[in-house]
Amino acid sequence: MKTVCIGFLIAIAAITPARSAEPAAKPNILWFVVDDMSANFSCYGEKTIQTPHVDRLAREGIRFTRAFTTAPVCSPCRSAMITGMYQTSIGAQHHRSGRGALKIHLPEGVTPIPALFQKAGYYTCIGNGLPAGSVGKKGKRGGAGLGKTDYNFEWDASIYDSSDWSGRKPEQPFFMQVQLAGGKLRGGNDENAKSLLARAQREFGSSTDPESVTLPPYCPRDPVLLRDWAAYLDAVRFTDQHVGEVIARLEREGLLDQTLIIFMTDHGISHARGKQFLYDEGTHIPIVVRGPGIARGQVRDDLIEHIDMAATSLAAAGISIPSSMQGRDLFAKDDRPRDAVFAARDRCDETVERIRSVRTDRFLYIRNFHPQRPHLQPNAYKDGKSVVQTLRSLHDAGKLDALSETLLFSPARPTEELYEWTTDRWQVRNLAADPAQRETLELLRTRLDRWMAQAKDHEPESAAMYDSDMAAYLGKGNPAIEKNIELMKQWAKEKK
């Protein structure tokens, strides 16, 4: 811990002078937000591929090694990210909620930060970061041409001026979110994985060799799983390539040194224990910051949360941080490192769930509120993926080893899990029942309870709200979802 603290103080010392004087002009703020991707970049130690452009950002800025998302699935994470608030505090914790007749409104005093930037004179935009006219993704619940938003609460699309900064007035600073498909590039089935590998071969001159990848210890080295992971790594390469194109554009336009760049992903890799779950695979993310006043080539090992990017960005622009905001300015002179970070998993599409976690610099404590349900509950989204289908087939055929069976296919889960995450990379050794860790377990149990109370963690979703959101799934020709909805209701009656 002494090394961590010293490194933190050095980073703060390097940055403080840039914040102590009023800058000549307000910096541009640019976020890279990447879907479904863990810290599989070479600057984070990934050996199978090279990511020169994200590496450059790390070399010219600060790389955070212990950054975590507060929600391991898109819409709750993004609802938290854009407000600087825990999704559980603003009632936006259920994935794809507020889509039905019943809506979610932000609590009084909570404002999406693009609106705060706009009020301060910034031009706000969200797209793919390439020159105007390039084709970007169509916004979810946003205006046509906008990049991905996916917020669970009601919001006004006018908080974004455009999909690109090119429309701003001369010298007007901009707040830009570059939204990238990331891990979603590999699709959800084996044919999609093969297609991306072929694309990598064409465009890069090589693709990732499936036999070269390292899988989690609970995943068999099945060809489908190996190809999926190889395609995922090539998705990382394509992501890095896009980052490089945006950096090159900033350089061409003379904007790079006037722009604070934050590179991050929304949550980890979509996999059996990644996306949707609170292990490192689902919550550990890369965060790299480069720009005016940021020390070069620094590494910070203190615990941070992705909601800290909201406060950090506002502070860099000289905009007051709302007193109610739970995210922190990471470069404030009086900032003290967090001694714990928190995360929550709730309903994902039709699948009801409630999991909470607290993580310190050594231990990860997870509480399962539905321990009588299996880890891989029925979920049409995940069950449609070749990886999960393969795992289920191997399970049915009795071809999985004991670890895979225990972690993925036990009919029930422990109420509490405790891992020494710094030494147990994949969180496979649950220490909750270890008498030697009893004191740690009790301390973290209490710490989680306190956070849930302080953050005003909402109660489980009401039946009326569930029915409202499920209406969007019914009658769409997907019998698996409709079957799962009935199962969720049955389990609720059984208090399972």
How high is the pLDDT of residue 177? 98
Closest CA to 70 of 58, 79, 57, 59: 79
**What burial class does residue 24 get, using C-beta atoms within 10 Å of its C-beta: 0-12 exposed, 13-18 middle, 19+ buried?**
exposed
Are 340 and 447 a contacting pair, CB within 8 Å?
A: yes
Q: Is 315 left (phi over 0), alpha (psi -120 to 50) or beta?
A: alpha
**What burial class does residue 334 get, using C-beta atoms within 10 Å of its C-beta: 0-12 exposed, 13-18 middle, 19+ buried?**
exposed
List, in order, residues 6 or more apart from 79 with CB less than 8 Å away.
71, 87, 90, 92, 150, 151, 152, 153
Are 151 and 85 a contacting pair, CB within 8 Å?
A: no
Range with the poorest average pLDDT among 56-70, 232-246, 249-263, 464-478: 464-478
Q: What is the pLDDT of residues 113-123, one digit of tens each?
A: 999 999 999 99
> Quick one: pLDDT band at residue 475, thresholds 50, 70, 90?
confident
CA dihedral 168, 170, 173, 174 (to 10 degrees): 20
How high is the pLDDT of residue 229? 98
Q: Is the pLDDT of residue 6 over 70?
A: no
271: β partners: none
Q: Is the pLDDT of residue 399 over 80?
A: yes
How high is the pLDDT of residue 476? 86
Q: What is the pLDDT of residues 66-100, one digit of tens each?
A: 999 999 999 999 999 999 999 999 999 999 999 99
> What ranges do the domains of the chain cover?
2-20+27-340, 344-493
How far apart are the C-alpha atoms of 388 and 188, rounded to whole Å? 10
Q: Is the pLDDT of residue 12 over 60?
A: no
How high is the pLDDT of residue 22? 42
> Quick one: pLDDT band at residue 132, thresholds 50, 70, 90?
low
**pTM of structure:** 0.93
Q: Is the pLDDT of residue 335 over 90?
A: no
Domain 2-20+27-340: CATH class, spelled out: alpha beta
Q: What is the mean pLDDT of residues 239-254?
A: 98
